[in-house]
Amino acid sequence: MIIGQPSVSVPRQAVGGRAPGEGVRQVPEETAIAFVYDGGSEAVMMATPADLEDMAYGFSLNEGLIGQISDVQRLEIAPGELGIELRLWLTPGLGDKLVARRRHRAGPTGCGLCGIESLADALPGIAPVQSDVQIAASDVMAAMQAMSDKQSLNQLTHGVHAAGFYLPGQGVVLVREDVGRHNALDKLAGALARQGLSARDGAVLMTSRLSVELVQKAAAMGTGLLAAVSAPTALAIRTAEAAGMTLAGIVRADGLEVFTHPGRVLMTKGKNHADR
């Protein structure tokens, strides 16, 4: 679902390039999105106002607020003057845990890191991923290239990130875009869950650098292989190593680099299904 427009046309003045002088450009929209559970606000972030159902479910799953999409009894998307509220009503009992957590956050102690109570909350332990997927390196490279053709918003604006899911034998089956790379991954998680697909069966692809938050979210999704066009941070590598996740970066048309658990990336030429 799209609330408003994911991009807008703005005037601009250009010097040089293909279209110098006065003109217009499409730029991505950025909107305040509030996550409200059982009437209580849990988080607010800036995001592209598209695929908000996917974002609501994916954020809730990746943050451990729900265990499955059936834990959400009702979802309402409510636009307002200042932004959009994603209002979720949860199964009895889950909402009580969120209320207790909010009260804990409101106490006098805390590091103030993005609203997280403590450093231990910012870097929680991650359960090892359970995925036996194996994908040829050539297929990972081809899949990343195929992603660009599926990024309709980025083709229009050149200003958003994308998260995609590659399924062996089928290619890149899902892509979600957003101004925030974390939001794009949450949207992808929600889309997978709503379509009954398991991240364990394929690879998650990102058009951004690999930070620790992306590894944490990808581990929550259960994928065994996370790949991106840019490099990972040192903490992302350590976290992926501990989680048993394969981390591949610098993915280009002619190569890639594997940083952890290389057994899921087959260094032989495989049959390429990525452009399907």
Q: Is it the case that residue 107 has pLDDT exceeding 60?
A: no
Q: CA 201 → CA 52, 130, 166, distances in Å?
A: 24, 10, 9
120 by DSSP, 3-state: which?
A: helix
pLDDT band for position 100 (50/70/90)?
Answer: low
CATH code of the domain covering residue 48: 3.10.20.10
Is 192 found in the same domain as 112?
Answer: no
Q: Which domain holds residue 40?
A: 31-122
DSSP code per residue over 186-230: HHHHHHHHHTT--GGGSEEEESS-B-HHHHHHHHHHT-SEEEESS
Residue with tokens 């048309």: 253
CATH code of the domain covering residue 199: 3.40.140.10
Q: Is it the case that residue 119 has pLDDT exceeding 60?
A: no
Mean pLDDT of the 27-46 span: 94
In a domain, 68, yes or no: yes
Q: Is it the case that residue 239 has pLDDT exceeding 90?
A: yes
Nearest-angstrom CA–CA distance, 139 and 105: 44
Mean pLDDT of the 202-209 span: 96
Is 45 found in the same domain as 78?
Answer: yes
Of the candidates 122, 149, 164, which is a domain's last residue? 122
What's the pLDDT score for residue 75? Answer: 98
Is 188 found in the same domain as 159?
Answer: yes
What's the pLDDT score for residue 61? Answer: 96
Residues annotated as catalytic (active site), given as ranges:
111
Is 169 found in the same domain as 84?
Answer: no
The CB-side HSE value for 18 (13 A sphere, CA atoms) comes to: 2
Q: What is the pLDDT of residues 62-73, one digit of tens each?
A: 999 999 999 999
Is 109 found in the same domain as 163?
Answer: no
Mean pLDDT of the 253-265 span: 97
Neighbours of 121 (CB within 10 A): 16
What's the pLDDT score for residue 94? Answer: 83
Is 76 found in the same domain as 41?
Answer: yes
Neighbours of 1 (CB within 10 A): 10
Which DSSP letter does residue 141 get? H
In a domain, 10, yes or no: no
In a domain, 5, yes or no: no
Q: Is it the case that residue 31 has pLDDT exceeding 50?
A: yes
